Structure 1
Amino acid sequence: MIKLQPHPDAENITVNCAVVTVSDTRNPETDKSGKLIQDLLLSAHHLIVDYQIIKDEPDQIQAYIESISKNQNLEVIIFNGGTGIAPRDTTYDAIEKLLEKTLPGFGEIFRFLSYQEIGSRAIASRAVAGTYQNKIIFSLPGSSNAVRLGMDEIILPEIVHLVKQMQNQ
């Protein structure tokens, strides 16, 4: 399969991001996926303006989104965790209810790429992306392999382009 590269952005900008791990068990020392997201963003010359670990409770997830979205300097929120179908996996449900516009291609491409790595188990991923209050929100599964896949193959190649699209409103 030929991997197509997006057209380069005219100018490289630094994107201000928040990183959120949704977990009932992780803490800053055990949050490998949250650290990986931060490391990949920093390596791409973006900034981390907030980092949180939130319990997998829809009210807490939504309250965080509503609160952090008031930060005028913030452009992107990247969640990891809680995207499966287990009873405690509520990240998708909480985020999806707030999204003003969805980016269905994100979840579709993520699952396609996951399928190539893990086979049919990719159907259980409810990765989602969209916009809320002029912020771009991405939600990835919590595994480090899934985070690396989503960041390397989709988010990092498109983050500047999507932020520029939001600024043209």
Structure 2
Amino acid sequence: MSGIDEAKAFVPVRVAVLTVSDTRTPEEDRSGQTLVDRIEGAGHVVADRRIVPDERPTIAEQLRAWCADPEIDVVISTGGTGLTGRDVTVDAHRDVYEKEIEAFATVFTIVSMQKIGTSAVQSRATGGVARGTYLFALPGSPGACKDAWDEILVHQFDYRHRPCNFVEIFPRLDEHRRRK
């Protein structure tokens, strides 16, 4: 049964928030702020926050920099997951992933279908792992960020969540790098 094991202590994770947009400023970044509020509200730490333009190399460069930073456990981006020509965030994420978390896109679609119906097919939300860091690309709407956090990520980033969660396998994400 899914739920919280109250016998376990909460373990905060350090999350970087990346808004991908050609037009947003920090004051207008409602999606990024939605994520920050939820991350902090859940007891986690916002380790960094940036806005970058919809440029695949720039996005990938920022993701790689955060993956190399031992002070960042998770990167969540918002924006650029759609179907238009400027929507390159998913492609940049996949340039960085060592492993993709395919089920994240499926579960996100299920959650989205309950909120926006068949319009959910227009999102290419994705998740993956690189250099022991979790990466997630979410749509650029506050509602989508709220849904992804409230329905999926808040549970998976709670060490107490059962039957399993992302936090408990952190030490094993990069075990292939330690093998000889």
DSSP 3-state at the match of 1:77: strand
Matching of residue 8 in structure 1 with residue 10 in structure 2: no
The equivalent of 1:126 in structure 2 is 124
Asked whether the 8 Å contact 1:82–1:141 carries over to 2, the reply is yes
- Contact kept, 8 Å, 1:18 with 1:76, in 2: the verdict is yes
For residue 95 of structure 2, what is the aligned residue in structure 1?
A: 97
Aligned counterparts of 1:132 and 1:148: Cα–Cα separation in 2? 24
SS at match of 1:69: helix
2:135 aligned to which of 119, 134, 137: 137
Indicate the residue corresponding to 2:56 in structure 1. Answer: 58
SS in structure 1 at match of 2:140? coil
- How far residue 76 of structure 1 moved from its aligned partner, in angstroms, is 0.3
Matched with 2:29 is 31
Q: Which runs of 4+ in 1 moved over 4 A?
A: none
Per the TM alignment, residue 7 of structure 1 is displaced from its structure 2 partner at its CA by 5.0
The gaps in structure 2 that reach 5 residues or longer are 159-164, 176-180
Between Structure 1 and Structure 2, whose CA radius of gyration is higher? 2
Taking only aligned residues, the RMSD between alpha carbons, in angstroms, comes to 1.4
- Which of 39, 42, 47 is matched with 1:41 structurally? 39
Q: What do the CA deviations read for 1:26-77 (whole angstroms, capped 9, x no partner)?
A: 0100000101100101011100111000101000001101112221121000
- CA-CA distance at 1:116 after TM superposition: 1.4
**Given the two structures, how large is their TM-score scaled by the length of structure 2?**
0.88
Gaps of 5+ in 1: none
CA–CA distance in structure 1, aligned partners of residues 36 and 154 of structure 2: 12
Q: CA deviation at 1:11?
A: 2.7
Inter-partner Cα distance in structure 2 for 1:11 and 1:58: 39
The 5 Å alignment of 1:104-119 reads 104-119=102-117
Match of 2:153 in 1: 155
TM-score under structure 1 length normalisation: 0.93
Aligned partners of 1:146, 1:104: CA distance in 2, in Å? 18
Partner letter of residue 164 of structure 1? E
- Spell out, residue by residue over 1:114-135, the C-alpha distance to the aligned partner (whole angstroms, 9 max, x if none): 1111111111110000101100
For 1:49, what is the secondary structure of its paired residue? strand
Q: Which moved more, 1:86-95 or 1:68-77?
A: 68-77
Residue 71 of structure 2 corresponds to which residue in structure 1? 73
Give the conservation status (yes or no) of the 8 Å contact 1:136–1:163. no
Q: Percent identity at matched positions?
A: 34
Residues of 1 paired with 2:16 and 2:140: CA distance? 16
Write the deviation string for residues 123-161 of structure 1: whole angstroms up to 9, x where unpaired: 111000010110000111010110100000001110133
User: How far does the alpha carbon of each residue in 1:104-123 deviate from its partner, in whole angstroms, 9 at most, with x for none?
Assistant: 11110111111111111111
